[in-house]
Structure 1
Amino acid sequence: MFQTSIGPSGGLAGYLRPETAQGQFLTFQKLLEFNQQAMPFASASIGKSFRNEISPRSGLMRVREFLMAEIEHFVDPEGGKSHPRFVEVKDVELALLSREVQLGGKTDVEKMSIGKAVSSGLVDNETLGYFLARIQLFLKRLGVDQSKLRFRQHMANEMAHYAADCWDAELLTSYGWVECVGCADRSAYDLTVHAKRTGVPLVVRETRNEPLRIEEWQIDLDKKKFGPRFKKDGKAVEAAVEALTQEQREIFAGELNKDGRIVIDVPGVGNGKVELEKDILEIVKRTRVENIREYTPNVIEPSFGIGRILYSLVEHIYWSRPGDEARGVLSFPPPVAPTKVLLVPLSTNPEFSKLVRRFSHKLRALGISNRIDDTSASIGKRYARNDELGTPLGVTADFQSLKDGSFTLRDRDTMKQVRASEEEIVAAIKSLSEGTEIWEDVAKRLPEFTEQQVD
């Protein structure tokens, strides 16, 4: 935890969380209840985290306070950590930098489908592989340059001691390869540690399809003789007896039958050795029937550094118009662009203003962010300055719009335009903003605007 001081005098120490995940582990039983005791299930959180960064630098790359988004996907370890929807992503191809390649002092990535990576054992299990593929698809949807994305496997000396496997999604920036998303199989470590510290069992209880019959060595203590014999040391001795493994119990059962007594180790009591006679303790082999299965789930955790992803994305999508470096463009995909549409009236005539504002109201009713630029600058300049802000679409209201209600729709990256009715243009903007279509799809079904344009 990152220690800080609280209050004007700074006399009270406080600690800032290094991740958001622990809150999900602490509330595991409540989350399981919300999911109607069904496994597997996942929870997610987003919030501020803090690290004691010695030398904050490089913009959003190294900071003491940052935004994290984390998913905790709880799985049954006996199920092989399979994922019911893995088949949906098994053909997604990833650029993988394995541990073995790194040990050889190289950084050559191997492009491989996630299905092959899991079946070959390179990626530990289906659920981990499922999230690696989903991370790639998510970053692609944001607009991340796929040629500047790789998944690097953690080396043995950098992986947490409890992790079964761990991969980082790294993005190439002007600062080099930067870890932006981590995806780890944290096994059952977190829930086990929290349960041990709090005394609250963080487990899943499931009714077995068929009762499980278990043969085991059980210990019976004669409490009437045991209590007076050991007095204040009774709890320590009893705990040591109950902690005996099945192998030890079997051995001691034989010794009891042969010698009538056993000697067990009990640290802190006498000389550390305690003798127990046959009249106090009995070890018997019995069959126990289990109708309920109880287990601690394992967890697969994708962890997203929002600031680093945002910074890397801006680097990846920034470019300049060919032949004119002063005309910068931010190519935010429509689904993630802060402002989706620029509305441009060709004239300051009140009729144009009324037309554009009506169009704006329609878009806002659909939840599509837009802005009107009715300044006196040329249309080309108005589009250019919004290209720099990443606005992907532009709608122009011209004199033809007053006559027949049609509008032109402009694509930021290609600068190509189509012309259609207001309803068709609104429908196209909606599908582009939701990511169900790309510009090429719209350009195929709506007529191209061929009039000479000033841009």
Structure 2
Amino acid sequence: MTSAATTLKGQPLDRPALDSMLRRRMFYTPSFEIYGGVAGLYDYGPPGCSLQANIIDVWRKHFVLEEDMLEVDCSVLTPHDVLKTSGHVDKFADWMCKDPKNGEILRADHFVEEVLETRLKGDKEARGQKIEEKEEDPKKKKRKGKGAVEAVKLDDAVVQEYEEILAKIDNYNGQELGELIKKYDLKNAATGVQPSPPVAFNLMFQTAIGPSSNTPGYLRPETAQGQFLNFAKLLEYNQQQMPFASASIGRSYRNEISPRAGLLRVREFLMAEIEHFVDPQGGKKHPRFEEVKDVELVLLNRETQLSGKTHVEKVSIGKAVANGTVDNETLGYFLARIHLFLKKIGVDQSKIRFRQHMANEMAHYAADCWDAELFTSYGWVECVGCADRSAYDLSVHAAKTGAPLIVRERLPEPITIEEYQVELDKKKFGPHFKKDGKAVEAALLATTQCDREELSKTLESADSITVKVEGVGNGEVTVPKELITVAKRKRTENVREFTPNVIEPSFGIGRILYALMEHCYWSRASEGGDEARGVLSFPPTVSPTKVLIVPLSSNEEFRPFCRKLSQKLRKMGISSRIDDSSATIGKRYSRNDELGTPLGITIDFQTVKDQTITLRDRDSTKQVRADEDKIIEAIQAMVDGSKSWKDIEAELPVFSGQEVELPTRE
């Protein structure tokens, strides 16, 4: 098991202190709080909104701009038929069980984890082993006040069984989770009762579109489907050029069974998703893979997990693709780009790993999938998923609607193809099937060559064939022999048609934002030394406010300088705040260190004399002094990421003066 998350000073993270600070400074707050709140719903305050907007801005530049992606903004309301076709209506579910005594609803995999981890803790206590204080994973979070750890020694074989189960918990289906609950007699700590067998619970919010409620629909659980449905238009916009990628940023909704862990498990959240459409022929190569092949990632593959272990391997993405750990170059390219993005926004590089999905936890559409997981005080948390969705989505939507969601590529030399073709008597076919004609035709045209060979043989001796057509009658339709011909034909092709495969990086912005706040949080003594003051060491590129402007005192001579500097910075697109309160300058800086403001300008009497100002670094509290133009130039360089504080300190004269010395970041 992983050790506890720590502050930047090497101390255990004080999560209650961090949460208190984040809510006090209004990074986020429970929605509808004065009405008692609703679990899993949160509002962002001014600094939270700004931090989120800055993360999205970096994301757009890193992916949409640099990769020349096509951004779309699609509807949240989604008709039932779309999500039925995509598989979400039938398969987008988690396993839940119910305590028969108090009616509490439990997510089955989280329940199993919680009880087994509690028993392992009790075993360690009974053996007199030191228990590492590990905060709870959101999947494994222990509910407060529901029983203390009991010191009970377990057999070594049982301990090994428990550890192996926990290592591959995401691979169990509902039946297997139910068997684990019975086999190990797992009981709810609140009641001492074993919960009912797990049942599937669909996570989508259902609604009705229109006043007559004739059009059932859902709030989208992801932004991906809108991108797939617009594929043909995007391909045309891109002048038929492949490969290409679309991107979308927007709200998604999932009716979580038991949301806990603050921003990490919520019912409404912001997603940023990419759909990279690639030709499956040629091994899914990526033209820019050479640029990232030496990027090293920490990988936890599925074989390791299935063996009951959680050992990781640090390896270059080039090597991981070459040895088959990562399936193809395009998937590997995006894993590396995800890693570089997380590094750019300030994620602690010692607290990131990429975990491969096991078979049963794999999304219904995925051929391979890796999660970028970030370590927090709640444990390892999935923040980015990167899936190879193969050709699933485009294929099923094309089969359902008859829309040609394909790519046509002109061949350098014509080729002759012999294949079974379906030919319909259109004059009779339409009147015979009436309103169902389009669906039946689409089902026939979607048949494979093997299907058509069987249909051809059937028609030789029968008067009709039967074909499966979803949504028509009982799902099967009889087609009379006189309406259809299925025969082998030769044709010359000048154009190759194919359905693209899709590589999808999917980012949970709220989870990334929270993990970043934990990774950037530390504390130091306040000005008086009687209490610790929180500091959020956000990189200047994503910090909510970039510059704090502080007049040394309330002297009227300082005001024009403050206003002029603030206006100049804002015109450059650099956010700033003026704090001219009566508090000491040290306290004013400390208050803004809690907001993550990386830079501070002090206006003093020397400024009035020679127009020079000081620039303070949040983390070291060191200062430099120069004229206004040089200081603004330094701020601009730090905000755009081209220079660090060390660079500025080497270029400009060091200054020591007004501020009371504070302990610095180690």
Alignment TM class, shorter chain as reference: 0.7 to 0.9
1:339-354 aligned within 5 A: 339-354=545-560
Determine the C-alpha separation between the residues in 1 that align with 2:331 and 2:358. Answer: 17
TM-score by length of 2: 0.60
* 8 Å Cα contact 2:365/2:393 also seen in 1: no
Determine the C-alpha separation between the residues in 2 that align with 1:242 and 1:88. Answer: 39
- Matching of residue 333 in structure 1 with residue 539 in structure 2: yes
Determine the C-alpha separation between the residues in 2 that align with 1:187 and 1:155. Answer: 17
Equivalent of residue 422 in structure 1, options 628, 635, 640:
628
Call closer, same or farther: CA 1:248–1:74 in 2, change over 3 Å: closer
Determine the C-alpha separation between the residues in 2 that align with 1:275 and 1:75. Answer: 39
Question: What are structure 1's unaligned runs of at least 5 residues?
Answer: none
* 8 Å Cα contact 2:455/2:465 also seen in 1: no
Call closer, same or farther: CA 1:361–1:189 in 2, change over 3 Å: same
Residue 439 of structure 1 is matched in structure 2 by 645
Q: Structure 1 residues 383-392 or 416-425, which shifts more?
A: 416-425
Determine the C-alpha separation between the residues in 2 that align with 1:395 and 1:252. Answer: 81
Call closer, same or farther: CA 1:273–1:199 in 2, change over 3 Å: closer
Equivalent of residue 241 in structure 2, options 23, 31, 38:
38
Deviations 1:276-313 (A, max 9, x none): 99xx9896664x22111111111111111111111111
Amino acid at match of 2:605: F
Call closer, same or farther: CA 1:347–1:196 in 2, change over 3 Å: same
Determine the C-alpha separation between the residues in 2 that align with 1:314 and 1:28. Answer: 36
* 8 Å Cα contact 2:585/2:659 also seen in 1: no
Q: CA RMSD in A?
A: 3.7
Residue 172 of structure 1 is matched in structure 2 by 375
Equivalent of residue 251 in structure 2, options 48, 54, 59:
48
* 8 Å Cα contact 1:240/1:266 also seen in 2: no
- Matching of residue 266 in structure 1 with residue 461 in structure 2: no
Call closer, same or farther: CA 1:107–1:198 in 2, change over 3 Å: same
Deviation at 1:351, TM superposition (A): 2.1
Determine the C-alpha separation between the residues in 2 that align with 1:267 and 1:87. Answer: 51
Equivalent of residue 211 in structure 1, options 395, 414, 422:
414
Amino acid at match of 1:83: H
- Matching of residue 23 in structure 1 with residue 226 in structure 2: yes
What is the SS of the residue equivalent to 1:46?
strand
1:30-429 aligned within 5 A: 30-216=233-419, 245=449, 266-267=465-466, 286=490, 288-321=491-524, 326-429=532-635
Determine the C-alpha separation between the residues in 1 that align with 2:224 and 2:446. Answer: 34
Call closer, same or farther: CA 1:250–1:285 in 2, change over 3 Å: farther
Q: Structure 1 residues 315-324 or 149-158, which shifts more?
A: 315-324
What is the SS of the residue equivalent to 1:36?
coil
Call closer, same or farther: CA 1:368–1:266 in 2, change over 3 Å: same
The higher radius of gyration belongs to: 1
Determine the C-alpha separation between the residues in 2 that align with 1:424 and 1:126. Answer: 45
Deviations 1:33-54 (A, max 9, x none): 2211111111111111111211
Deviation at 1:210, TM superposition (A): 2.0
Deviation at 1:209, TM superposition (A): 2.0
* 8 Å Cα contact 2:385/2:506 also seen in 1: yes
Determine the C-alpha separation between the residues in 2 that align with 1:112 and 1:336. Answer: 29
* 8 Å Cα contact 2:256/2:267 also seen in 1: yes
Determine the C-alpha separation between the residues in 1 that align with 2:635 and 2:465. Answer: 75
Amino acid at match of 2:246: S
* 8 Å Cα contact 1:219/1:242 also seen in 2: no
Determine the C-alpha separation between the residues in 2 that align with 1:282 and 1:347. Answer: 90
* 8 Å Cα contact 1:219/1:284 also seen in 2: no
Call closer, same or farther: CA 1:419–1:276 in 2, change over 3 Å: closer
Call closer, same or farther: CA 1:242–1:15 in 2, change over 3 Å: closer
Call closer, same or farther: CA 1:382–1:9 in 2, change over 3 Å: farther
Deviation at 1:447, TM superposition (A): 1.9
Report how many residues are paired.
438
Determine the C-alpha separation between the residues in 1 that align with 2:509 and 2:485. Answer: 60
Amino acid at match of 2:563: R
Determine the C-alpha separation between the residues in 2 that align with 1:81 and 1:161. Answer: 21
Amino acid at match of 2:565: F
TM-score by length of 1: 0.86
Call closer, same or farther: CA 1:29–1:218 in 2, change over 3 Å: closer
Deviation at 1:263, TM superposition (A): 6.0
Deviation at 1:77, TM superposition (A): 0.8
Call closer, same or farther: CA 1:40–1:402 in 2, change over 3 Å: same
Call closer, same or farther: CA 1:78–1:333 in 2, change over 3 Å: same
* 8 Å Cα contact 1:124/1:164 also seen in 2: no
Call closer, same or farther: CA 1:244–1:399 in 2, change over 3 Å: closer
What is the SS of the residue equivalent to 1:431?
helix
Amino acid at match of 2:229: L
Amino acid at match of 2:291: E
Q: Where does structure 1 differ by over 3 angstroms across 4 or more consecutive aligned residues?
A: 4-14, 215-221, 239-253, 261-265, 272-277, 280-286, 322-325, 450-453
Amino acid at match of 1:165: D
Determine the C-alpha separation between the residues in 1 that align with 2:446 and 2:316. Answer: 49
Deviation at 1:214, TM superposition (A): 2.4
Amino acid at match of 1:380: G
Amino acid at match of 2:637: S
Amino acid at match of 2:611: G
Q: Structure 1 residues 6-15 or 72-81, which shifts more?
A: 6-15
Call closer, same or farther: CA 1:405–1:192 in 2, change over 3 Å: same
Determine the C-alpha separation between the residues in 1 that align with 2:327 and 2:270. Answer: 28
Amino acid at match of 2:577: R
* 8 Å Cα contact 2:612/2:628 also seen in 1: yes
* 8 Å Cα contact 1:53/1:64 also seen in 2: yes
Determine the C-alpha separation between the residues in 1 that align with 2:602 and 2:658. Answer: 14
What is the SS of the residue equivalent to 2:633?
helix
Deviations 1:33-82 (A, max 9, x none): 22111111111111111112111222112221111111111111113211
Deviations 1:147-198 (A, max 9, x none): 1111100001111343221001111112111111111000110111111112
* 8 Å Cα contact 2:422/2:444 also seen in 1: no
Call closer, same or farther: CA 1:303–1:346 in 2, change over 3 Å: same
Determine the C-alpha separation between the residues in 2 that align with 1:22 and 1:372. Answer: 45
* 8 Å Cα contact 2:466/2:479 also seen in 1: no
Deviation at 1:343, TM superposition (A): 0.6
Determine the C-alpha separation between the residues in 2 that align with 1:273 and 1:406. Answer: 87
Call closer, same or farther: CA 1:276–1:359 in 2, change over 3 Å: closer
Residue 55 of structure 2 is matched in structure 1 by none
Question: What are structure 2's unaligned runs of at least 5 residues?
Answer: 1-203, 468-476, 662-666
Residue 97 of structure 2 is matched in structure 1 by none
